[in-house]
Amino acid sequence: MWSVYTTMADHISRTTNGASKLNLVNVDYPARHVSSAALVAVGSNSYFDGIADGFVKTSQYLQQVQTLSECSHVTVFLGGFSQGAMVMHRIIQAYDPSQLARFHFLSAILVGDGDRVAHDGTHNFGNADPGIQGIGQAFPFLSASKPDPIDINNDTPVFSVCNAGDPVCALSVRIPPWCPSCAGAYTAAAIMRGIAVHTSYDRSAALAQAARAATFR
């Protein structure tokens, strides 16, 4: 997400002649390496087990923005990668637009979002099929993902960055009809094959495009 921050920060500084700036606030929560996502094939939720903690801590930050007088003129961009994208996705799902407005929410960039919902109204960047959902939607009993579309409007857009082959945001597994019992092995193999795609967004043109779209409004 660092490249997103630097792109947005540079644009905001240039277009306001330095009058405004973008500060980065990290949410400290126990994120897992993407390789642990392959364990969904054996019924493990380890890839998802830190998301609830990230949700709570992000909510606390947003509540501070709402209540502290020194934050009255702050505008909030939400951003996250992998499980971090799932945290921010759930924040946007959990709060209605009026509450998000009280949090000073303006827009979000979700990169490699495991909670990705097909055709849900987000602005898609990258070459993934918008009809393919994230790994959390494929295993909701492990991830606690919700299929509800994000309730947003044009004033608070959500930008989703996902490339084909990313097993987190666009999981696609072909199980041979002659071996239905092989589903677990094929799922784990597909996830492991796609790790390189999932971890290469910092070099992705789609990410830079989404960052520009979030601020060039």
Q: What is the pLDDT of residues 187-210, one digit of tens each?
A: 999 999 999 999 999 888 888 888
Tell if the pTM clears 0.85, that is, is over it. yes
Domain count, the chain: 1
Q: Is the pLDDT at 135 greater than 80, yes or no?
A: yes
Q: What is the CATH number of the domain that holds 180?
A: 3.40.50
The three-state (H, E, C) secondary structure of 75-124, written as one string: CEEEEEECHHHHHHHHHHHHCCHHHHHHCCEEEEEEECCCCCCCCCCCEE
Q: Is the pLDDT at 137 greater than 60, yes or no?
A: yes
How far is residue 49's CA from residue 35's CA, in Å, rounded to a whole number? 14
Would you say 30 and 129 are in contact if contact means Cβ atoms under 8 Å apart? Answer: no
pLDDT in tens, 164-173: 999 999 999 8
How far is residue 170's CA from residue 73's CA, in Å, rounded to a whole number? 37
What was the pLDDT predicted at 173?
A: 83
Q: Is the pLDDT at 50 greater than 80, yes or no?
A: yes
pLDDT in tens, 14-26: 655 665 667 778 8
Would you say 82 and 168 are in contact if contact means Cβ atoms under 8 Å apart? Answer: yes
Mean pLDDT in the chain?
88
Q: Is the pLDDT at 155 greater than 80, yes or no?
A: no
Taking 3-state DSSP, the helix, strand and coil percentages for the chain, each rounded to the nearest 5, stand at 50, 10, 45
What was the pLDDT predicted at 14?
A: 64
| Tokens linked to 23 | 């500060």
Spell 127-158 as b/e; 16+ CB within 10 A means b.
ebebebbbbbbbbeebbebeeeebebeeebbb
Q: What backbone torsions phi and psi does residue 132 show, to the nearest 5 degrees?
A: -95, 135
| Tokens linked to 123 | 């602005």
pLDDT in tens, 82-129: 999 999 999 999 999 899 999 999 899 999 999 999 988 899 999 999
Domain residues for the domain of 80 are: 2-215
